[in-house]
Amino acid sequence: MIEHAFDRAIALAAQPDGSFLGHTSPDYGNMVGPYGGVTAAQALNAVLLHPERRGEPVAYTVNYAAPVSEGAFTVHARPARTNRSTQHWVIEMLQQGQTVLTATAFTALRRETWSAAEHTMPAVPPPGNVPLPAREPRVEWVNRYEMRFVHGGLPATWDAREETMSRSQLWVRDRPPRPLDFASLTALSDVFFPRIWRRRASRVPVGTVSMTVYFHADAVHLAATGTGYLLGQAQAQAFSKGYFDQTAQLWSEAGELLVAAHQVVYYKA
Amino acid sequence: MIEHAFDRAIALAAQPDGSFLGHTSPDYGNMVGPYGGVTAAQALNAVLLHPERRGEPVAYTVNYAAPVSEGAFTVHARPARTNRSTQHWVIEMLQQGQTVLTATAFTALRRETWSAAEHTMPAVPPPGNVPLPAREPRVEWVNRYEMRFVHGGLPATWDAREETMSRSQLWVRDRPPRPLDFASLTALSDVFFPRIWRRRASRVPVGTVSMTVYFHADAVHLAATGTGYLLGQAQAQAFSKGYFDQTAQLWSEAGELLVAAHQVVYYKA
């Protein structure tokens, strides 16, 4: 029996033709369809489970091509190019023969080199000093994460007053805690509520169309983080004619930048 | 006759099977192979020229899977999903039957909405007050751009002294000037020299493995920019075990954020 909801959600069954069969999980339900972070993790998992994979994920881009319906899906992951210590993947998720997601991934064997942080973790109170939100979430997937907002939580009232800045900072981890891996780190990269809701205090319709995750963490960083909290930060750079971008970081509690993530989001306003 | 070197470089010939045939351009030669920004523009051009395209580019991710050799290449661009006003593309560039580049693009019909800047243009002197570099470039493609470094140009000496910050700011445009379009904006998104050279004052071997461009500009912004300068800014967030990331912005001289771009780069150090 798979104990953790996240492991159940990303479970894939290898098919005779080399593809993978998965199912959406009601544990990660969103307003319409599943939480996009888990969909991204499901598609990446086809690479992680692939018998030809070489190395660990370094870059991953996922494009949400159509709403994912509740039920089964197929993931095709193809190593388009395999080099000595790197590999490029092309990924596609289908439902009823129609593409619902496209993605590319880059995996590599990493090695010790000179390394340095540049975007260091902001000074914030430790997770134990930051309360959980009092309100009940409106969507199921939010229950799967422990989110402690340091700054920029959901607006207290949806009064459409306009803020000048969309930044949020929160301590976050799986609920219940689960040792961090590349799949869960991918899902966590999408954990931020839409920046336009924060900026405009208005719950306008939105949908992520593309997300890119750069993994600065390797397996050593993941093991060191374990079930600890991550500090997440997200901010938009511009809202322009129906699409805004978001730039995000996730640091371990020890202050290592594990992920730099970016997305572009459709909005109706 | 095609007058501008950039137009010659990105020219593609439609093939009977729906693919496109192009050639690398010595005008945009880099240390080894062509300048990656032009390779990215060539691959995007297969979408821009595609008879089934709907809308303008909003998100574009390009993965450099292998060195591009001098000579011919084929680009396949497939609309994996076409929705009412959006489209998702999967792109692949091949040489001698081998994949050298994979990419995905998202195009959309944009419409007027509430829009807002958040990452505003830094205060810098106007382009006319910023001199051109005195040194001759070591690679050909640099001659195709007018670059006026406001801050953080190439280190004056490669003395391996370590800086604490990798940010660069420059005024940049095609040389000779050329009206901005999505292809040239894509190429310009890769115009920044490697952040590790700036951070370490050491010309270590590097290579971009993946770049993502979010277009905040639509055709109206492009027309308003014309042949004007762009202000470019780039900075790394972390250098970790052989890979660093770069986050970049390009603003029009009027202060509109045209592009938010990101890349992850291999380094040997």
Residues 242-261 (A) with a CB less than 8 A from some CB of B: 242-243, 245, 247, 249, 257, 260
Summarize the confidence of residues A89-104 as an average pLDDT: 98
The closest CB to that of B59, out of A115, A209, A218, belongs to A209
Hey, what are B97's tokens? Answer: 């039957």
Higher pLDDT, B23 or A269: B23
What domains sit in chain A, N to C, each tagged with a CATH number?
5-109+121-267 (2.40.160.210)
Summarize the confidence of residues A49-75 as an average pLDDT: 98
The closest CB to that of B218, out of A165, A241, A257, belongs to A241
Asked whether B101 and B92 are in contact (CB, 8 A), the reply is: yes
**pLDDT, tens digit (0-9, with 9 covering 90-100), for A188-216:** 999 999 999 999 999 999 999 999 999 99
pTM for the model stands at 0.98
ipTM value? 0.97
The closest CB to that of A88, out of B65, B83, B237, belongs to B65
Return d(Cα B23, Cα B40) in angstroms, integer: 13
Position A1 scores a pLDDT of 64
Position A255 scores a pLDDT of 97
**pLDDT, tens digit (0-9, with 9 covering 90-100), for A137-169:** 999 999 999 999 999 999 989 999 999 999 999
Position B242 scores a pLDDT of 98
Spatial CA neighbour of A188 closest among A259, A122, A136 = A259
Contact (CB<8Å) B110/A242? yes
Per-10-residue mean pLDDT for chain B, 269 residues long? 91 98 98 96 98 98 98 98 97 98 98 96 98 91 98 93 95 98 98 97 96 97 98 98 98 98 96
Asked whether B180 and B225 are in contact (CB, 8 A), the reply is: yes
The closest CB to that of A118, out of B59, B100, B238, belongs to B238
Position B32 scores a pLDDT of 87
Contact (CB<8Å) B102/A90? yes
> Is the minimum CB–CB distance between A88 and chain B shorter than 8 Å?
yes
| Residue B84 CB burial class (10 angstroms; 0-12, 13-18, ≥19) | exposed
Contact (CB<8Å) B104/A210? yes
Contact (CB<8Å) A238/B116? yes
> Is the minimum CB–CB distance between B88 and chain A shorter than 8 Å?
yes
Instruction: Indicate the average pLDDT of chain A.
Output: 97
The closest CB to that of A257, out of B210, B237, B241, belongs to B237
Cβ contacts of A249 on chain B, cutoff 8 Å: 237
Cβ contacts of A264 on chain B, cutoff 8 Å: 58-59, 106, 214
Position B74 scores a pLDDT of 98
Spatial CA neighbour of B236 closest among A263, A115, A222 = A115
Position B30 scores a pLDDT of 96
> Would the pLDDT of A178 be above 80?
yes
Cβ contacts of A241 on chain B, cutoff 8 Å: 110-113, 115, 218
Q: How far is B111 from chain A (nearest CA, A)?
A: 6
| A200, A212, A220, A268, best to mutate vs chain B, most B CBs in 10 Å | A212
Q: What per-residue string of b and e applies to B232-246 under the rule 16 or more CB within 10 Å gives b?
A: bbbbbbbbbbbbbbb
**pLDDT, tens digit (0-9, with 9 covering 90-100), for B231-265:** 999 999 999 999 999 999 999 999 999 999 999 99
Residues 121-160 (B) with a CB less than 8 A from some CB of A: none
Given pLDDT bands bounded at 50, 70 and 90, which one contains residue A37? very high
CA distance to A246, B2, B13, B191, per residue, from B246 (Å):
15, 34, 33, 12
Contact (CB<8Å) B116/A165? no
Q: How far is A199 from chain B (nearest CA, A)?
A: 10
Position A134 scores a pLDDT of 86
| Residue A32 CB burial class (10 angstroms; 0-12, 13-18, ≥19) | exposed
Cβ contacts of B110 on chain A, cutoff 8 Å: 241-243
The closest CB to that of B241, out of A113, A236, A268, belongs to A113
> Is the minimum CB–CB distance between A97 and chain B shorter than 8 Å?
no
Cβ contacts of A239 on chain B, cutoff 8 Å: 114-116, 118
The closest CB to that of B65, out of A81, A99, A237, belongs to A81
Q: How far is CA B194 from the centre of its chain?
A: 13
Q: Which residue on chain A is closest to B67 by alpha carbon?
A: A83
SS3 of residue A71 by DSSP: coil
Return d(Cα A45, Cα A185) in angstroms, integer: 12
| A56, A63, A258, best to mutate vs chain B, most B CBs in 10 Å | A63
The closest CB to that of B210, out of A106, A117, A269, belongs to A106
Residues 159-218 (A) with a CB less than 8 A from some CB of B: 164-166, 199-200, 209-210, 212, 214, 216-218
Contact (CB<8Å) B116/A260? no
What is the Cβ-side half-sphere exposure of residue B249, based on CA atoms within 13 angstroms? 23
